[in-house]
């Protein structure tokens, strides 16, 4: 497993340097080509690029209380049953959920979506005995449906409770491009099927924007010209459980 991650630049510094270098080359040598490539998605025979690091910015100050557009968009796109419709809510998978926080002293409330943080140093990948949990070169953390044995060690290891076990045989809500299966563990994939198709965004981000909240931005954090990079430069953001130093791919503003 390690060898796989070793192919991609491991340290954030090196990745940033490579990213900048590639972009610079793209801009000077063949303007447009780079952008076209990223925007058009990835042919199946081509490996995910380590020059890209997909990430998300959550602006908690814009995330509306009581709104769960992002959650239902995810469930529709990826074919998991919304908790409210599930017969076994405690065992139902949730790829993304809304968290309501309150400071007991000041009564100040914060709303934010919680999802897989697509850690650059993912503990779930470290502990997975079979290597079913893996991180793609472009930073997306996924579970290989064919080698996951359902040991749930990754669920024990994830500091964000981002993963779910599929507890019962699935009904026909499944989507053809989102393989799932009973007894396997799953989590947010950053809508990898959309990303690879070249949509350049995720279902939750689209839904949030459509609802007019604009609390979510998705994009390539290695590309200094991307919207997410620009916003990340302007807004102060935090990593949840920054103490663990996992270098997460989801950054929060206003927490």
Nearer to ligand SF4, 64 or 127 (CB): 127
Q: Can you tell me which of 14, 40, 167, 210 binds other proteins, judged by CB under 8 A? A: 167
Asked if 160 interacts with other proteins (CB under 8 A), we say yes
In contact, 246 and 116? CB cutoff 8 Å: no
Task: Considering only residues 64 through 123, tell me which ones interact with other proteins, judged by CB under 8 A.
Answer: 83-84, 88-94, 97-104, 110, 114, 123
Helix (H, G, I), strand (E, B) or coil at 185: strand
Gyration radius from the chain CA atoms: 18
Which distant-in-sequence residues (6+ apart) come within 8 Å of 150 by Cβ? 165, 183, 184, 185
**Which of the choices other proteins, ligand SF4, none does residue 90 contact, using the CB cut-off of 5 to 8 A by kind?**
other proteins
In contact, 211 and 66? CB cutoff 8 Å: no
Site string for ligand SF4, 122-141 (x = CB under 6 A): xxx--xxxx-xx-------x
Structure tokens at 115: 């999802």
Asked if 2 interacts with other proteins (CB under 8 A), we say yes
Nearest of 236, 216, 247 to residue 74 by alpha carbon: 216
Structure tokens at 151: 């040991």
Distance in Å, CB of 227 to other proteins, minimum: 27
Q: How far apart are CA 96 and CA 202, in angstroms?
A: 12
**Which of the choices other proteins, ligand SF4, none does residue 100 contact, using the CB cut-off of 5 to 8 A by kind?**
other proteins
Q: Can you tell me which of 40, 152, 210, 238 binds ligand SF4, judged by CB under 6 A? A: 152
Asked if 183 interacts with other proteins (CB under 8 A), we say yes
Task: Considering only residues 227 through 246, tell me which ones interact with other proteins, judged by CB under 8 A.
Answer: 240-241, 244
In contact, 188 and 95? CB cutoff 8 Å: yes
Structure tokens at 8: 């991609």
Helix (H, G, I), strand (E, B) or coil at 187: coil
In contact, 178 and 79? CB cutoff 8 Å: yes
Structure letter (DSSP) for residue 79 = T
Distance in Å, CB of 21 to ligand SF4, minimum: 26
- Binding-site ranges for other proteins (CB under 8 A): 1-2, 83-84, 88-94, 97-104, 110, 114, 123, 125-132, 146-153, 155-161, 163-169, 182-185, 240-241, 244, 255
Site for ligand SF4, rule CB under 6 A: 116-119, 122-124, 127-130, 132-133, 141, 143, 148-154, 158, 160, 162-163, 185, 187
């Amino acid at each position: 497993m390690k060898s796989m991650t070793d192919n991609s630049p491991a340290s954030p510094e090196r990745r940033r340097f490579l990213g900048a270098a590639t972009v610079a080359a793209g801009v000077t040598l063949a303007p447009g080509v780079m952008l076209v490539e990223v925007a058009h998605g990835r042919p199946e025979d081509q490996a995910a690029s380590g020059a890209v690091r997909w990430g998300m910015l959550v602006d908690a100050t814009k995330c509306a209380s009581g709104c769960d557009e992002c959650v239902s968009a995810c469930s529709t796109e990826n074919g998991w049953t919304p908790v409210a419709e599930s017969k076994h809510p405690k065992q139902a998978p949730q790829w993304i959920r809304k968290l309501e926080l309150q400071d007991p002293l000041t009564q100040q409330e914060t709303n934010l979506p919680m999802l897989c943080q697509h850690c650059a140093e993912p503990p779930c990948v470290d502990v997975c005995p079979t290597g079913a949990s893996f991180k793609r070169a472009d930073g997306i953390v996924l579970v290989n449906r064919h080698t996951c044995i359902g040991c749930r060690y990754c669920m024990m290891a994830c500091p964000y409770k981002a993963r779910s076990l599929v507890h019962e045989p699935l009904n026909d809500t499944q989507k053809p491009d989102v393989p799932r299966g009973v007894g396997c563990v799953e989590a947010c994939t950053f809508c990898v099927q959309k990303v690879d198709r070249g949509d350049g965004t995720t279902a939750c981000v689209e839904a949030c924007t459509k609802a007019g909240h604009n609390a979510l931005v998705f994009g390539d954090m290695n590309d200094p010209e991307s919207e997410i990079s620009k916003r990340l430069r302007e807004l102060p953001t935090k990593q949840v459980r920054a103490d663990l130093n996992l270098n997460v791919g989801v950054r929060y503003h206003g927490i």
